[in-house]
Structures are given as C-alpha cells and as structure tokens.
Amino acid sequence: MRGRQTLVTIALHSSRKVVMKNQYDTRGSWLAEHVLPHEPGLRSWLRRSARLSEADIDDLIQETYANLFTRPSVADIADPRSYTYQVARSILLQNLRRAKIVTIEAVADVSSLNVTAAAPSAEQLVEGYCELQRVTDAIEAMPSQTRRAFWMRRVEGMSQRQVAQALNLSENTVEKHIMRGIRLLMDQFGRGGKPPRQASMTRTDNDVEHGTQGGNEKSRVSSEN
Amino acid sequence: MRNRESAQKIDDAAAAWAAKIDRGLNTEEQAELDAWLAADKRRVGALARGYALWIHAGRAGAVAVPDPNPIEVERPQITRRALLVGGAAAASLAGIGVFAILREQPGGIATEIGEIRRVALLDGSAVTLDTASRIRVAYQSFERRVTLLAGQAYFEVAEDPARPFLVEVENILVQSLGSAFSISTAAGLPISIAVSTGRVALSRYVNGVTTSIARLEANTSIDVAGRGDVSLQAVHTLDPVELDRTLAWREGKLSFAGETLVEASQRFARYSAVRIVVDPTLADERITGLFAANDPRGFAKAVAVSLYARYEENEKEIRLVRPAVIKK
C-alpha cells in the first residue's frame, strides 16, 4: 500500500514537471507577445492616473502577471491590452479595499479610472518594434560574458551545457549568467523606457553579484519562507 | 504594510528560477519551487514575467542582432584566451586579427569624427564607413546581417545565395541582390539608399510584420522615412555624375550641386569640430563644387571669395559675414 503510494507520487511529479515547463513556454510565449509590449504603457498609466509609487507599481505588475499566468485559458481574451489593464485595475481596487487605512476618495478615484481612455496612440502601434529594440539594447548592455552566454543559449539555441563547453565554463556558472541576464532584463524592461535609476541599478548589480558568487539564492529564498 | 518581501527581492529569486526552469528542474527542485511559489502570489507573477522576458529576448535576437561574436563561436580556444588576457598582452601575431575584431564587437565598428574607413568583413564583403558612423555586424549560418546605427556606409557585397546579406537601419531592411550600395541615416532626415551596381530589395518591419516596399536597380536612389512612417518617396534615377557625387564621401570629398550654404555647412560639421557659422543673409546662397571634407577652412575661404563675403575665424568657429558695404 505504502509502496504504491510512493509510486503514484513519483509519477505525479514527473508528469507535473512536463506540465510546468509547458506552461512556462506556452503561457510565457503568450505573455511575451501580448502583454510585455504593453507593460511600459501600463506602468506609466498607473503612475499618472493612479499616482502609485514605483514600489507599489512593481507589486501590482507582479500580481497582474500572476493573474494572467494562472488563468486557465487565455484563448477567450480578444484584446489582451485592455484585459491586462482591467486586471491591474481590479487588483488595485481589491488591494485598496483590503488596506486598513484607505480614503473613500482613493477607491472612487480608481473605480473611475478609465481603461479605454488609455487607448493606444499612434506611437504605440509601433510599440512592438520599440519593445524589441529595448530588449536588444538591454542585451547589449549586459556584461560581456553574461551577454555571450545569454546570446548562445537564447538566440543560437545551444543548451546551457553546450554553452558551458563552448565557453569553457561550468554549467553552474552558465546558469548564473542566464539568471543574471534575465534579472537585468526584468529590471530594465520595467521602467517604461526611462533611463534606469542609478541607485536601483547599483543595488541590483550587487544582488546579482552576490547570488552569483555565493551561488546560494536558494538559501536566501528559503530563509524567507 | 511594507515589511513584506520587496518586488526587487522577488525578482532576484524569480530570475534564478527562470534560469533553472530553462535547464530543467529535478524533482527536488520542483518541490522547492512549488513551495516558493505558494508563499506569495507575486512570486508567481514575477517568475511568469521573467520567463516571458526570456522568451521575448529570443525574438529580439531574430530582429535586431546584437553582438553574437560569430568568430568566437567558430574558434572558442583563441577567443577564450583573448578574453582571459583581456588586453594588450595577447600580442602574438596570430592573435591580433581576431582580437581586433573582438574588441570592435561590443559597440560595433565605428569611425570617429573626420575618419573615413574601409573595413573588410569576414565573408569577403567590404564596408566603407563615413565620418562618425557605426555598424554592428552579425553573421550567422543562415544570414549576414549588418545594422547601421549611425551615419553613412557603403557596402560592397560578396554574394552568397545561401546566406543573404541584409542591412538594417531603424525598421528598414535592405537585402543585397548582387550589389554595392550606400545607406545613410541622420537624425531628422529620411534614410537615403543609393545603389551603384546590382540590385537591392527594400522591406519594412512594423509590429512583427515585414513588408516588401521596393526594389532598386543600379544607378537609382530612394529616400525612405524611418520608424513608424509609411510614406515612401519616388525612386530617383542617378546619372553617372550624380552617382559619383553621392558617393564622393568615400574619397573624403564633399560634392555640392546647388545645395544652400547652410546645408553645405551642416555637411562639413559632420567631419570636424570646427563649425561654420553663416550670416542669415548668406544662408540661401547656392554652392557648387568638390571640396575636401576635412578642410572646412578651405571651403569657407573659397565661398567667401566667390560670394564677396568676409571670412572670420577664432578657435571655436569660422564665420561668413556679408560686409555692410555690399548689399545684394
């Protein structure tokens, strides 16, 4: 009986693994295509209309992505842009209502936030191109070894192991470079095209560096659990 | 309210997990990830976003190719050494060529103000860069792509049907069909393309869609508006004299045939730090002639003589002034 249960658990885990990877690839791909290009616009809309701080915007953006990622299906979303704005707006409302100290005006303000008023402008129609350019710029700005590993894995399609062999690095180091590259993209992409804030960049570099050298972001993470 | 984990901290861990998912998780890590994700919904969002950016980055590579260091992939052992040594110490003769190319890669190949340089590319093609110009070269097995980031360049392409030669400038793509051609880009001006031999195909990239817009034969030129704008001007036919004029910059010469004095002064400004300041009453005078691009003084003196203007000079600038006694 006990033995059988163990078997079932293992089977679940291994099929789960496949499902997981698939979900990141398929939903991640949808997010990349339909949501990322609108993120800078969404951020500036939140900054302008809802007058949120940068830290609050970062939180809200993460919650918005969480909602879109865990949604059972995205096939029914006809207009991903306005849907994303609506999700962000309803999370913001929820958070405001849940907060202990919140003025009625704040809730009223956000309730009246007009999602359609944020319709795409002429410039935003070429946004897709600019977004790619922004990512390209971010890749160019990476430290050279990180950029090299990132490029070989992502664009040339080599596996992390193959990259490690080509660059004569350990697989662990290659993984750290990929991590660092993704981290830099996460930071630079979010700021809506503004030059990265000096303080934030410096701090981020240290964080990444720390993670790279210690090789132990796991322990940091688990200590927070 | 704010003693909870910051979004930045979450992003740090999310990036690490994205890199691990990319290489594949083992069962233990999967359980660890599940536990991590379960603790805060924002972690789910941060990881989804990080992974989406990772996917997005691959697409960016397919559009505008930055620094793939093609040589490095082909000869990792030499490159590795050059990288390790990192400086002048890699001075064995064999290393120098590779090293020079490597050093040029991160920012592309560039010329200083006043410099005009012809560079041989790996495939036997050549590119001549005008003053203050910059290109990025990205050769892959399936294509050869050069991005013109600033200034003006003249390409002489070694044909290879299996590997098309593409020049990208803003959102315009120029594909060589057995050709030599020049492309220039400057802020506020349309992108200008002139073909001296062969043919080129022009297409435009907007919102992920590439649309063919024109084909140019030898001895023609076109001005195309850049990013966003879809207007397209007519193709001009260039006679041999006009073509030579258009490409005179390759010999360090500026050729004018009826440009205004202001336009001509602006052309000179691209080649040196010396500025020619023109009296407003002289601004629209028409200029014709062939001048050395690196000699703005010689140009200004010649203009002064032919327009009866006064030539003045200090450390910063050259002035062309119309003397009060001579009214036009």
A98 located within any domain: yes
The domains found in chain B, sorted by start residue, are 7-63 (no CATH), 65-106 (no CATH), 112-242 (2.60.120.1440), 252-321 (3.55.50.30)
The pLDDT assigned to B93 comes to 29
A111 and A25 in one domain? yes
Q: Are residues A112 and A196 in the same domain?
A: no
**Residue A9 covered by a domain:** no
* Interchain CB distance below 8 Å, A139 and B60: yes
A200 in reach of chain B (CB within 8 A):
yes
Give me the torsion for CA of A52, A58, A64, A65, rounded to 10°. Answer: 160
> CB burial class (10 A; 0-12, 13-18, 19+) of residue B28?
exposed
Rank B50-59, B195-204, B224-233 by mean pLDDT and report only the highest: B195-204
Question: Which of B26, B51, B227 has the highest number of chain A CBs within 10 A, making it the mutation to test binding with A?
Answer: B51
Domain identity same for A30 and A114: yes
The pLDDT of residue B324 is 64
Q: Is residue A126 scored above 80 in pLDDT?
A: no
Within a domain: residue A15? no
Residue A61, Cβ density class (10 Å: 0-12 exposed, 13-18 middle, ≥19 buried)? buried
pLDDT at A144 over 90: no
**Is the CB of residue A68 less than 8 Å away from at least one CB of chain B?**
yes
The pLDDT, as a whole number, for residue B88 is 29
Distance from the B41 Cα atom to the nearest Cα atom in chain A, whole angstroms: 6
Cα of A103 to nearest chain B Cα, Å: 16
- Closest chain A CA to residue B5: A224
Q: What is the pLDDT of residue A121?
A: 47
Count of the separate structural domains present in chain A: 2
> Which of A183-187, B14-18, B134-138 shows the lowest mean pLDDT across its residues?
B134-138
Of A27, A58, A179, the CB nearest to B7: A58
Q: Is the pLDDT of residue A204 over 60?
A: no
Q: Domain of residue A166: give its range.
A: 126-215
Rounded distance between C-alpha atoms, residue B279 and residue B268, angstroms: 16
How far apart are the C-alpha atoms of A52 and A38, rounded to whole Å? 18
Identify whether residues A93 and A140 lie together within a single domain. no
Work out the mean pLDDT of chain A and round it to a whole number.
69
d(CA B47, nearest CA chain A) in Å: 8
Which of B67-71, B137-141, B288-292 has the weakest average pLDDT? B67-71
Q: Which residue has the tokens 């922004």?
A: A134
Is the pLDDT score of A156 beyond 80? no
Residues A57, A138 within the same domain? no
Indicate the pLDDT class of residue A116, thresholds 50, 70 and 90: low
Other beta carbons within 10 angstroms of residue A129's beta carbon come to 21
Distance CA A168, CA A170 (A): 7
Domain-embedded: residue A5: no
The confidence band for A1, taking pLDDT boundaries of 50, 70 and 90, is: very low
Q: Which of A119, A144, A175 is the last residue of a domain?
A: A119
Domain boundary residue among A82, A97, A119?
A119
Does residue A202 register a pLDDT over 70? no
CB contact under 8 A, B25 and A17: yes
Q: Which residue has the tokens 């202001």?
A: B262
Position A223 in a domain: no
Are A135 and A105 in the same domain?
no
Is A220 among the domain residues? Answer: no
Residue in B12, B22, B45 closest to A66 by CB: B45
Place of tokens 């390409």: B155
Specify whether A115 is located in the same domain as A136: no
Best residue in A14, A68, A140, A186 to probe B by mutation, most B CBs within 10 Å?
A186
Sign of the C-alpha dihedral computed for residues B72, B77, B81 and B82 taken in this order:
negative
* Predicted local distance difference test score (pLDDT) of residue B323: 76
Q: Which residue of B has its CA nearest to A54?
A: B7
CATH code, domain carrying A142: 1.10.10.10
Q: Please state, in angstroms and rounded to a whole number, the distance separating the CA atoms of residues A183 and A139.
A: 11
Which one is predicted more confidently, B1 or B304? B304
A145 and A200 co-located in one domain = yes
Identify the residue with better confidence: A221 or A114. A114
Between B239 and B122, whose confidence is greater? B239
Question: Is A25 contained in some domain?
Answer: yes
Cβ separation of A156 and B73 shorter than 8 Å?
yes
Which among A72, A99, A119 is the end of a domain?
A119
- The residue with greater pLDDT, A112 or B21, is B21
Average pLDDT along chain B: 78
Is A4 part of any domain? no
Q: Are B10 and B40 in contact (CB under 8 A)?
A: yes
CB under 8 Å to A55, separation ≥6 — which residues?
A: B2, B6, B7
Domain identity same for A165 and A184: yes
Asked whether residue A86 falls in the same domain as residue A114, the answer is yes
Note whether A135 and A71 are same-domain residues: no
Q: Give the separation between CA B88 and CA B90, rounded to whole angstroms.
A: 5
CB contact under 8 A, B207 and A128: yes
Task: Categorize the per-residue pLDDT at B29 as very low, low, confident or very high, splitting at 50, 70 and 90.
Answer: very high
Count other Cβ atoms within 10 Å, centred on residue A8.
10
Chain A neighbors of B47, CB-CB under 8 A:
24
- pLDDT tens digits, one per residue of B237-292: 888 888 888 888 888 888 888 889 999 998 888 888 889 999 998 898 888 888 88
The per-residue pLDDT for B61 is 52
To test the contact with chain A by mutation, choose from B23, B25, B47, B56 the residue with the greatest count of A C-beta atoms within 10 A, namely B56
Same domain as A62, residue A80: yes
**Structure-derived torsion over alpha carbons of residues B254, B257, B261, B267, reported in degrees to the nearest 10:** -30
The answer to whether B199 touches B216, Cβ cutoff 8 Å, is yes
